[in-house]
Amino acid sequence: MSGTSAILDPTAAEGPSVRNAARLQWLAVGLALVALAQCVGIILISAVGDERFPISFDLVTIGFLGSVILFPVMGALIIQRRPVTRVAWLMIATGVGLGFGLFLFGYGTTGMPPAPPRPLALEALVLSQLFFIPSIAAGAVLLLLLFPTDRLLEPRWRIVVAITLAGVVLYDLGTLFHGGAMDQDRFPGLQNPLGVPAAWAPLVGLAAVLGNILVTIAALLGALSLVVRYRRANLVEAAQIRWIALLATLAAIAFAISALPIKPESEVAFGIGLVLLSGMPIAIGIAITRYHLFDIDRLINRTLVYGSLTAILAGVFTAAIGLAQRVFVAVTGEKSDAAIVLTTLVVATLYAPLRKRLEAIVDRRFRYDQHRFGAYRDEVTRILGLVEPSRAAERLAIEAVRELAATGGAVVDAEDRPTASAGEWPVPPAVRLAIPGGGGSLAAILVGPRLDAQPHDPRSIAELQEVAQLVAAAALIHRNPQS
């Protein structure tokens, strides 16, 4: 099995049947529409003017709403071409989960006294606490661990998945069952209905702190995984990773700072982390567009345009309706529905000119259908990496070490001199395979012991020899094009 991206490689296996694939595609579209509906609901809830749930044009709002929209939409686009894709479904789950958390929190907050009571407002407020950390932290960490190949770098990185899940569970337990007030600033005197007795309070508090620490560690390890993957990547994977590596690393650092008890700096860091997180789907979309990996350039172009347009108009609507309500209160002493009508007219007026301006910006920067030489050059380089002997030897060594989870490996010539190596080398070889049909720089491949000290799977060894024979055949055609 090749290490080339299972997500972003159009030559990957098709996976499910046509009927099942169509169902998955429609499900992805439906969930993306749910996320958009959640954003509309969140904005409308905020429009009632309750200061305990404000939506203004600040970092936190941009990060939250941007994540709710962009993660599911970009994930749904990927699924239209590759229905069984962990990263794409993870993106959808991240956005929809975060949207549910925000909607429930807004509904519960604006339905608590002194506002007019709403049915199940307290239950919604309590339930909302279960969505934020799993969506933001777990979603980001797992995305870092899987991108762009849709699988972990090595089996040992499963420990980071375990740390992430443990941190999320501990944090949610600590948040859900903490004793005392729900939120003293927003709801003075409102006690947590699920709060544990005082004797258990220190244990619950410790669980929340420990969960926070584990999630922070997992975020940093996820960023490290991406760095390690980049250093081992082939040309295409490296190009994909570059678009997301810096953004993801900075987001992980920002979230790590936000966990420190240094307000207001930690709050600013949290907002910056959310904005960087919301930009990750755009980075993934650019990686796909830049290399024509799914030929969905037009779809992503329109997503960038209308995603940005939605975010800007939502911000304008929220800010304008808040200003209009304050004007009506100052003049008449009470709120008015006319503020919503006037604000809607303003937003409708801005739609057309703003859309044209955004189209010009996005088309100038991200329309690759007229500038294909970058992608063509990378495609030629990739082919040479498979057939040109020295590059083929290097690629074969990298893939062998990765697929067999070995400490190291090397391709040697007829005199046992290494022509390419990967991982730690030299190491005592655990496997030596002569390459059928090979010669010159592709005489044999040596593979070191597994990282987990277990014996190599005979089936993997047989597959490696088969692939090595194909590589030798491709290199032979390169050397003797008339044969």
C-alpha closest to that of 133 among 21, 341, 274, 289: 274
Beta bridge partners of 422: 409
Q: What's the domain range around 453?
A: 389-479
CA atoms within 13 A on the CB side of 378: 15
**pLDDT computed for residue 380 by the predictor:** 61
Q: In what order do the strands lie in the sheet with 431-434?
A: 418-423, 408-412, 444-447, 431-434
Mean pLDDT over 277-286 rounds to 80
Question: pLDDT tens digit string along 187-197?
Answer: 777 777 877 77
- How many CB atoms within 10 Å of residue 51? 8
Question: pLDDT tens digit string along 394-425?
Answer: 888 888 888 888 888 999 888 888 888 888 88
Is residue 3 assigned to a domain?
no
Question: pLDDT tens digit string along 162-181?
Answer: 999 999 899 888 888 877 76
Based on the domain organization, do 399 and 287 belong to the same domain?
A: no
Residue 370: pLDDT over 70:
no
Task: Give me the percent of the chain exceeding a pLDDT of 70.
Answer: 75
Mean pLDDT over 183-187 rounds to 66
> Which residue in this structure is represented by tokens 């008015």?
336
For residues 205 and 178, the answer to whether their CB atoms sit within 8 Å is: yes
Question: What HEC string does 175-205 produce?
Answer: HHCCCCECCCCCCCCCECCCCCCHHHHHHHH
Residue 235: pLDDT over 50:
yes
Count: domains in the chain = 2
Helix (H) or strand (E) holding 354: helix 338-366
In whole angstroms, give the CA distance from residue 150 to residue 347.
Answer: 40
Residue ending a domain, among 273, 297, 321, is 297
Residue 300: pLDDT over 60:
no
Query: Would you call 184 exposed, middle or buried from its count of C-beta atoms within 10 A (0-12, 13-18, 19+)?
Result: exposed
In whole angstroms, give the CA distance from residue 310 to residue 69.
Answer: 9
Question: pLDDT tens digit string along 112-137?
Answer: 777 777 888 888 888 888 888 788 78
Token couple for 193: 């209905």
Is residue 456 assigned to a domain?
yes
- Residue 16's SS3 state is coil
Residue 347: pLDDT over 90:
no
CA dihedral 299, 294, 69, 361 (to 10 degrees): -50
- Residue 398's SS3 state is helix
In whole angstroms, give the CA distance from residue 452 to residue 185.
Answer: 51
pTM for the model stands at: 0.59
Phi, psi torsion values for 191, nearest 5 degrees: -90, 150
Residue ending a domain, among 246, 280, 297, is 297
Question: pLDDT tens digit string along 23-42?
Answer: 888 999 999 999 989 888 88
pLDDT category of residue 10 using cuts at 50, 70 and 90: very low
**pLDDT computed for residue 311 by the predictor:** 65
Mean pLDDT over 368-386 rounds to 55
Based on the domain organization, do 131 and 273 belong to the same domain?
A: yes
Average pLDDT, the chain: 77
Residue ending a domain, among 297, 313, 341, is 297
Based on the domain organization, do 66 and 177 belong to the same domain?
A: yes
Residue 12: pLDDT over 50:
no
CA atoms within 13 A on the CB side of 15: 17
Is residue 322 assigned to a domain?
no
